[in-house]
Amino acid sequence: MPLIECPDCGRQISDRAKVCPDCQCPIAEVMAERRDAEVRAQHVASRERVEREVDCGRCHGRGWFGFGDGLIAWCIVCEHTGRTPLCRASDGWYSVAPYAVERFLAGGLDAPTSGVVYFLGANEPKAHAFPEAAHRVPVDPESPAIPWTLDPDEKRKLGGA
């Protein structure tokens, strides 16, 4: 029976124990969280930028997106072009705002909760929805208009937590 060290009191206990018999630390939960954190760390470590662009995950390659009331807004995730840098990791492919790539690669941003990183799936995206990218209008990364975080409605639409 393998033994592990209780993360709270340091005592050697069975790796099957749900709770430390000494200090009542919820071992099973703590270990599951650690495993999740390790898996995430491995995915983050594998993140890299691919030298091509992909359709923007927020506006789906249009350079703008529509609201339910018929109004449209220019997309500042892709800086109006409809295209964003493509990134790859061991868990799949990502569309990332140009000004967010470094923070994404360093593990500081995730899809879709950041509002500027989009998970595209396990397969490399190939074609573009439109043949030409629109004109780039660089945005200030400090602009308060950038959706660094999403509101709950938008998260639901994107399938986020």
DSSP string for residues in 20-72: -TTT---HHHHHHHHHHHHHHHHHHHT-EEEEEEEE-TTTTTSSEEE-TTS-E
- Contact between 100 and Zn ion per CB under 5 A: no
Residue nearer to Zn ion on the CB measure, 22 or 33: 22
End-to-end CA distance of the chain: 37
User: In this chain, which of 47, 54, 55, 58 binds Zn ion, going by CB under 5 A?
Assistant: 58
CB of 40 to Zn ion, least distance (A): 25
CA 65 – CA 147 distance, rounded (Å): 13
- Contact between 22 and Zn ion per CB under 5 A: yes
User: In this chain, which of 19, 23, 31, 158 binds Zn ion, going by CB under 5 A?
Assistant: 23
**Rule CB under 5 A: which residues touch Zn ion?**
6, 8-9, 20, 22-23, 25, 56, 58-59, 75, 77-78
